[in-house]
Amino acid sequence: MKASWTYVDGLPGLNSQLDSWLLGILDAAAAPSGARYRPAMALNAANSQNAALTVSAEPVQAGGTVVAVRQKVSETGSDGTRTVSSAIIYADTVFGEVHRAAELLRPEAKGRILAQASGVPASISGSFAQGPTLDDVVLTSSGDLQVTTERPAGRGQSGREDTTTIAAADTLATLSELGHKILHQLQAPAAPPPATAPALRHINCDLIPCAALSYDDGPDPKTTPRLLAILKEKNVQATFFMTGSNAIAAPATARQVAEAGHAVGNHTFSHPYLTKLTPAAIRSEIDRTDAAIRTATGSAPSIMRPPYGAADAAVQSAVGKPLIIWAIDSLDWQSKNPAVFVPKVLKEITPGAVVLMHDIDATTIAGQQELITNLQAQGYRLVTVPQIFDGTPLLSGHVYRSRPERK
């Protein structure tokens, strides 16, 4: 199976619809194994020779305040017969509403449109239980309709798609109230969706194998910029849990991390064992660090990591943020040797895992190129902590180590 799709920043309704559609197809494909689809199934998928099912979802039109996306499924049977189906969904970039193509047409006009697009007489086009559908209709800004119909596969034959353009003069009367609204929006001045910070861009880690690389104890003006250069080269987003004292000592480096689009977390001010402090002292550590990071980067972090992973009920209650621990401890600080900690991470990595490392150690930075290259070669998408938990509410005082499996 091969799948490709494109999310659109700032349109959560559209992105959520794409996720549901893709997961439904993947669950159905995985059903013969007796299990639902899991991201681990996609590891090393590039090496698979089975291309019986091809799924795609790509924008085909963007005009005014509307984005249109074509969802397409192509399946090849054991006898070589190929079937194709496609559908268009429309998203409003201002209000985020999502609609299917058929909603743009008046119900009583669909037979006439099918007759023009498929050559089936209008008087009988609605009598076929499995005849052409009006799922794939592109409405252009000029009012034309580009109608793609599916020709079912016959015995020993492959299905095909035919596209017919119907001029605006013949289609305006067929549009529903929603269709006229969409046409008006297509003709309006462009209004792209609001920009989304890279660290928060939509990625569904129920669909693809993800891992979150996280780095503690910085920022360090010598080592952190070297790490940022590697992450940029490898197109990786990561999470930096900063101490307040280092954010004050190296504000330009802290700002460089945030401006590069990485996520920033609170790692206390002086790196103490929080379990040995009073609630008031814990709050002081968190608040001072929030203030230092806000001064350096422009915003306070929404997540935190307790030093040493030390968190009891009192700590969880006092910090006032979700606590992000880790699923994999690289022990980079202990070995200070990439030949030791890189294989350890590669051996223990699983989809959804948060990995602990430290950006203040030169030896850690020395191993990042090898680690990231190997993880990406295995099929992992390396994302921020907020991205790996996208769709999972992170609650204040709760502890998180990895993305929970889909229920």
Report pLDDT for 350.
97
Residue 131 has pLDDT above 70, yes or no: no
* 162's tokens: 């035919």
Task: Note whether residue 341 is domain-resident.
Answer: yes
Residue 188's identity, in one-letter code, is A
CATH (domain of 246): 3.20.20.370
Across 144-157, average pLDDT: 74
Distance CA 61, CA 72 (A): 15
Global pTM exceeds 0.95: no
Query: What totals of helices (H) and strands (E) does the chain contain, helices first?
Result: 14, 16
* H-assigned helices in 40-129: 110-118
Task: Note whether residue 193 is domain-resident.
Answer: no
Same domain, 264 and 289: yes
Same domain, 141 and 177: yes
Give 154's pLDDT tier (boundaries 50, 70, 90): low
Report pLDDT for 257.
98
Report pLDDT for 283.
98
- Residue where one domain finishes, among candidates 154, 186, 218: 186
Distance CA 189, CA 300 (A): 35
Same domain, 234 and 107: no
Report pLDDT for 99.
97
Give 136's pLDDT tier (boundaries 50, 70, 90): very high
Same domain, 124 and 219: no
Task: Note whether residue 191 is domain-resident.
Answer: no
Task: Note whether residue 86 is domain-resident.
Answer: yes
Same domain, 271 and 316: yes
Please identify which of the residues 216, 217, 332, 359 carries the catalytic annotation: 216
Number of domains in the chain: 2
Three-state secondary-structure class, residue 274: helix
Distance CA 2, CA 247 (A): 44
Task: Note whether residue 52 is domain-resident.
Answer: yes
Catalytic residue status for 180? no
4-47 tens-digit pLDDT: 999 999 999 999 999 999 999 999 988 777 788 999 988 865 54
Same domain, 152 and 214: no
Same domain, 229 and 337: yes
- Residue where one domain finishes, among candidates 165, 186, 207: 186
Residue 189 has pLDDT above 70, yes or no: yes
**Full residue range of the structural domain in which residue 369 is found:** 198-400
Task: Note whether residue 237 is domain-resident.
Answer: yes
224-280 tens-digit pLDDT: 999 999 999 999 999 999 999 999 999 999 999 999 999 999 999 999 999 999 999
Task: Note whether residue 104 is domain-resident.
Answer: yes
Cis amide prior to 219 (ω within 30 degrees): yes
Distance CA 166, CA 164 (A): 6
Report pLDDT for 23.
95
Same domain, 236 and 272: yes
Please identify which of the residues 136, 217, 358, 390 carries the catalytic annotation: 358
